[in-house]
Amino acid sequence: MLLVAEPSLGEEEKAALAAVIDAGWITMGDRVRAFEKAFAETQGVPDSVAVSSATAGLHLALAALGIGPGDEVLVPSATFVATANVVLHVGATPVFVDVEDPALPLMSLDDAAAKVTGRTRAVMLVDYAGYLPDAGRWRAFAHAHGLRLIEDAAHAAGVRGAGTIGDAGVFSFYGNKNMTTAEGGAVVARDPAVLDRVHNLRGHGMTTSVQQRLSGHASGYDVIAPGFNYRMDELRAAIGLVQLAKLPAWNEKRKDLTGLYRTRLADACPDIAVPFAEPRASAHHIMPVLLPDGVDRPRVADSLRADGVQTSVHYAPLHHFTYYRERFPGVSLPRTEAFARRELTLPLHPKMDAADVDTVVRALARALSSQREGIAA
């Protein structure tokens, strides 16, 4: 089966894990700090804080920026559910915003402006599929309305500028991301004081770590906030350091494969639309396409699976999930809903080559042709 996403792990990662085990220190230590510095350098920022997941990072970013009960946060519905869940975790209310267009599935600035109220405190942007929103427009919007700007950059590791659009940015290193630590994430922030709060909240609000106390660099600790256990361990950081060195080449491969997909799809499946036609910075995390209106997506996915090609959907609209539908009834986002009805995610990862892209495109063309013939009959 040609998978939608597949991690690249090998002997270097095994050796890095073995070195941690041999060293005997497996929790927060030197490797975590080295990974934080290396990742910050990759993103072009002074520092970062490694965390247990991007969800944890988003939660920490909101908490560090003072978002809480009574506040509203503008969020897209075309995203993974963690983007909205963390808003509830801090006691705030997510307000769902439409996308610009099915061909540009990033949060609509116009719809966001229409939904600002006296309780709106923040905007949560999402770098969907690894594509960056317009930084200048969103910064101006946030400044005009006095809002905090948080970037869910889970899809965009390795892209210069990602995570720096607003006050804080959060990255994911989950197993299906462009680089992985199995579970894990990182937070960056414009204001060093905000990053310090993230750092402190990550480890129970404690002022020193176990390693600092054991090494004699601290005799005790204080607790200055009711924090969380959102730390990254040495094993994950060791994998991350190996993966991070490979990330630029992997992202370049993803870019090349995406370009090849666009060319092949235009030739073999001209009725398929590929979002993000206009050039913009991207990590090319996933390969979303829009099926023609009226096509039975489950049948297309079944046909591709029979040909050995896995597909997925990114994403079902959050406001359609039972919890959010019942808590926030009556939400209508026509462009998000149109996008979600037609979107299909094709395989995209560095283990693929041009022949794999051709395999996927041929399988998709057959599936569409079969449906057209069935409708004609």
- CA 228-121-232 angle, to 5 degrees, is 25
Nearest to 128 by CA among 285, 254, 279: 285
Both tokens of residue 229?
């256990």
User: Which residues have C-beta within 8 Å of that of residue 145, sequence separation ≥ 6?
Assistant: 113, 116, 120
Catalytic (active site) residue 177: yes
Alpha-carbon distance of 207 to 210, in angstroms, equals 10
pTM tops 0.85, yes or no: yes
CB 165 within 8 A of CB 151: yes
Determine if residue 42 is left, alpha or beta; phi over 0 gives left, psi from -120 to 50 gives alpha, anything else beta: alpha
CB 286 within 8 A of CB 311: no
Q: How many CB atoms lie within 10 A of CB 56?
A: 26
Nearest to 76 by CA among 104, 117, 118: 104
Both tokens of residue 97?
């915003």
Tens-level pLDDT at each residue, the chain (377 residues): 999 999 999 999 999 999 999 999 999 899 999 999 999 999 999 999 999 999 999 999 999 999 999 999 999 999 999 999 999 999 999 999 999 999 999 999 999 999 999 999 999 999 999 999 999 999 999 999 999 999 999 999 999 999 999 999 999 999 999 999 999 999 999 999 999 999 999 999 887 666 665 665 666 788 888 999 999 999 999 999 999 999 999 999 999 999 999 999 999 999 999 999 999 999 999 999 999 999 999 999 999 999 999 999 999 999 999 999 999 999 999 999 999 999 999 999 999 999 999 999 999 999 999 887 766 54
- Choosing from 14, 115, 177, 351, which is the catalytic residue? 177
Helices (H), 204-350: 210-214, 234-268, 297-306, 322-327, 334-342
Domains of the chain listed by start with CATH number: 11-242 (3.40.640.10), 247-376 (3.90.1150.10)
- CA 337-104-45 angle, to 5 degrees, is 120
**How far, rounded to the nearest angstrom, does the alpha carbon of residue 236 sit from its chain's CA centroid?**
18
- CA 348-233-220 angle, to 5 degrees, is 155
